[in-house]
Structures are given as structure tokens and as C-alpha cells.
């Protein structure tokens, strides 16, 4: 399934996330959940990076995750956090609220259909989205491998990530190929794995139109990205509630 995190991509997910200095969503998630009763589903709960601390803080959140490998990590580190295995698209259920942090929603095909389905499943929704400005502006080269990030592992070993992307701006589609390399302290490659992810992205007006058509009203919008002073929002979190 598109976007199921396996192998090195899964194992190194949290380390790369940290290395990227991506915005920490835990405070926003807490704000969204604070003082509310009822059931909450976390779609794409991964290694438990955010789910674990939420459960530890006393929030009643149930994880749903498609990758068995991610679930194993989550259960090992946060045994008290419940996680169901499966793809959200096949998951039936109704909840008071659903949370989808960290761009997972953008891995789903046909976003409008999915927003409608989310509206059928819940009264409130938390979703974080990114806008691929570096790709769109040409800052990152298209159809060419480029160095993305590296992480330091134990004993001088290194995890390297190279990326290559294709963009279809009019269709709001970004395909990213990732090449993960596990190297020892001499720089020899011990393991190499490639993955591909198809992501959807939206203009502000496109997103707002889609939310309106699918019965969602924006309660709060937080710009989580770096501030380049150009008015473009790179990462945004939305708190949504059913409009009817
Ligand atoms: C970008 S990672 C984010 C993980 C976690 N939310 C975090 O912030 O640490 C996306 C996660 O969603 C999972 N995923 C992708 N598609 C899914 C689907 N259709 N249903 C359930 N989980 C999915 C992936 O396996 C991966 O663990």
C-alpha cells in the first residue's frame, strides 16, 4: 500500500524526523484533545512517537496503523498504547474525533472522497498538511537524485537518505523516490533500500473548497512551517468540525 512504512524507512522514521527539525505537534494535539470526552482515532500512528506521550498523559486515543513493523516498534516502546493493524480505507467505525498528524493524509488517493468518509466517521478532525514549495519553486531539482538528510547511528554508522521527485503541479501530485543507505564507519554500504511515495498537495483555495464540499468547517488553522516572510504556508495544521 502507498505510504506503508517498512524496512529502513520505518526503522529510521523518527530519527529522520528529528534530524529535519520538523515542528513538534504534541502541543497542538494536546490542545485539540484537551477537556474533550469520547473516542479518538489516530490514523497512521507509526512508531508511537506521538501516540505514546498522548496516552501517557491520559488522553484516550486509539492508534490505527497499516505497517506491522511500525506497530511492533510502537507496542515495544509504548505497550499501554492500543493500536489496531490495518489501512484506514478499510477501517469501519465511528469516533468523536480523528487525528491525522504528520502529512499521512496526503498519502491517500482521492482526498475529497477521503474527507467525506472522515466526515461520516467523526465530528471533529485534526489534520496536518505540507505544501511542497521547495519542489515547486525548483529549489530542489526534478527527476534527479539529491542528498536529502543523514543521521548518525551507533558506533560511527550512518543512515543516509537521497531523494528524487516528479511533480505534476496541475494534478497536485508529487511522487518521491527515497533511497536509504546504511553505511559503516568506513563509508561502506551495508544495506540499501528504495521506496516510493505518492503524495497529494493542495492550494489554500483548493483545500478550502474541498473542505466546504465535504462538510468540514475550519475552527483553527496554525502555520507550523518556517517563516520565510513570503506569506506562503509550508506546513499547516487544521482543527475542523462538522459543518452540519
Ligand atoms: C509520515 S508517517 C507518520 C507517523 C506518525 N504519525 C508520526 O508522526 O510519528 C505515516 C504513517 O502512516 C502509516 N500509514 C500510511 N498509510 C496508511 C493508511 N492508509 N492507514 C493507516 N496507516 C497508514 C505509515 O505506515 C506510517 O507509519
In our burial notation (b when 16+ CB lie closer than 10 A, e otherwise), range 102-131 reads bbbbbbbeebeebbbbbbebbebbbbbbbb
Question: Do 20 and 81 reside in the same domain of the chain?
Answer: yes
List, for residues 65-112, the tens digit of each pLDDT value.
999 999 999 999 999 999 999 999 999 999 999 999 999 999 999 999
pLDDT (0 to 100) of residue 229: 52
Q: Which three cell numbers stand for residue 144?
A: 534527479
Nearest CA to ligand 1 atom 23: 44
Question: Do 141 and 226 reside in the same domain of the chain?
Answer: no
> At residue 217, does pLDDT exceed 90?
yes
Confidence of residue 230 (pLDDT cuts 50, 70, 90): low
Confidence of residue 212 (pLDDT cuts 50, 70, 90): very high
What is the residue range of 100's domain? Answer: 7-131+202-242
For residue 65 and ligand 1, the question of a CB distance below 6 A is answered with yes
Question: Mean per-residue pLDDT for 132-158?
Answer: 93
Number of domain units in the chain: 2
Q: Which residue has the higher pLDDT, 129 or 228?
A: 129
pLDDT (0 to 100) of residue 231: 54
The CATH number covering residue 194 comes to 2.20.130
> At residue 232, does pLDDT exceed 90?
no
Question: Do 55 and 157 reside in the same domain of the chain?
Answer: no
E strand or H helix at 150: strand 146-152
For residue 103 and ligand 1, the question of a CB distance below 6 A is answered with yes
- The rounded distance, in Å, linking the Cα atoms of 32 and 26 is 10
2: in domain: no
Amino acid at each position: 500500500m502507498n505510504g506503508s512504512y517498512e524496512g529502513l524507512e520505518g526503522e529510521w522514521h523518527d530519527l529522520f524526523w528529528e534530524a529535519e527539525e520538523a515542528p513538534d505537534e504534541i502541543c497542538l494535539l494536546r490542545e485539540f484533545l484537551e477537556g474533550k470526552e469520547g473516542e479518538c482515532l489516530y490514523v497512521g500512528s507509526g512508531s508511537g512517537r506521538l501516540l505514546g506521550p498522548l496516552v501517557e498523559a491520559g488522553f484516550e486515543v486509539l492508534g490505527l496503523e497499516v505497517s506491522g513493523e511500525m506497530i511492533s516498534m510502537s507496542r515495544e516502546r509504548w505497550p499501554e498504547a492500543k493500536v489496531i493493524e490495518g489501512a484506514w480505507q478499510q477501517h469501519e467505525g465511528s469516533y468523536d474525533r480523528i487525528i491525522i498528524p504528520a502529512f499521512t493524509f496526503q498519502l491517500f488517493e482521492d482526498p475529497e472522497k477521503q474527507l467525506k468518509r472522515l466526515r461520516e466517521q467523526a465530528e471533529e478532525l485534526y489534520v496536518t498538511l505540507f505544501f511542497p514549495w521547495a519542489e515547486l519553486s525548483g529549489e530542489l531539482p526534478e527527476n534527479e537524485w539529491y542528498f536529502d538528510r543523514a543521521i548518525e547511528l551507533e558506533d560511527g554508522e550512518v543512515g543516509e537518505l537521497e531523494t528524487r521527485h516528479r511533480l505534476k503541479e496541475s494534478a497536485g501530485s508529487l511522487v518521491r523516490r527515497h533511497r536509504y543507505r546504511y553505511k559503516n564507519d568506513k563509508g561502506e554500504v551495508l544495506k540499501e533500500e528504495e521506496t516510493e511515495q505518492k503524495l497529494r498537495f493542495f492550494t489554500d483555495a483548493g483545500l478550502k473548497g474541498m473542505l466546504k464540499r465535504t462538510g468540514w468547517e475550519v475552527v483553527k488553522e496554525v502555520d507550523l512551517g518556517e517563516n520565510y516572510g513570503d506569506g506562503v504556508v509550508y506546513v499547516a495544521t487544521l482543527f475542523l468540525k462538522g459543518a452540519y
